[in-house]
Amino acid sequence: MLLDWYVFLSQLSAVLNGPLGSLSGEAGLPVVSAFLLGMVGAVSPCQLSANLATIAYLSRQGRDLDRAVAGIGAYLAGKVIIYSTLGLVALLFGLTVVSSASVPFFAIARKAMGPSLLLAGILMLGMVRLPVSFGDGLSRRLTRKAGKSGSRGAFFLGMGFSLAFCPTLFVLFFGLLLPMSMRSAGGITFPGFFALGTAMPLVILAPLVSLGILGGQGLAGKAHRVDRALRLAMGAIFILLGLNETLIYWFS
């Protein structure tokens, strides 16, 4: 029975990982994986709220596409700076530990991948709810600098919201992205691409709101319904991938 389950999960994992691996390899862009992982992070509760709040913030400027685009660019810059800085500090610390001690880091990181995927999937499905978050204090201080509108405010919003880590986003960034960054050439750029992925809902929706194509009223409710469906789907996929990784690297 266990062997049949292992074979099933292996086949499913190959189907799910195949297109991504092929795309990354053929395009020569392993950062695609980091970007897509960021898009998964976009459905975490803290990022959904951040993107909706920023859309509301940018919509105060009226129907002005140029200002909306400038605000989006400033917001993205703030996010990329914070995530890249956090990633750089964590990677330097990790590399220092690996170089100064006989730590089989890559073997440990590979074994940790399965449990990390499982934990991320469980959190996405809401099977376990952890009433904790990280960086809220500093996040609030930076977002207070945003003011009423403008690119400068959007920049501070991007920085502030990036420092608020709910459990799901924490696992995705520190448990999955950073170990992947340490194993890959050019991994130092992964946190920046992850940041861009988390802001994709804003990049898509904010211009539509500014042009009046999409009304701001009711957007939050629609976004929450779509978010719930996406989180359920991604949670199930992460759990299956996590089970497969755990069976391969813990019991094979």
Which helix (H) or strand (E) segment is 49 a member of? helix 45-59
Least confident interval from 41-45, 62-66, 171-175, 196-200: 62-66
Q: Indicate the SS3 state at residue 110.
A: helix
Please tell me the distance from the alpha carbon of residue 187 to that of residue 183, in angstroms, as a whole number.
7
DSSP assignment of 58-83 equals HHTT-S-HHHHHHHHHHHHHHHHHHH
Task: Note the Cα 141 to chain centre separation in Å.
Answer: 22
Higher pLDDT, 195 or 186: 195
| DSSP, res 111 | H
- pLDDT confidence tier of residue 107, bands split at 50, 70 and 90: low
Ranges 2-6, 73-77, 150-154, 242-246, most confident: 73-77
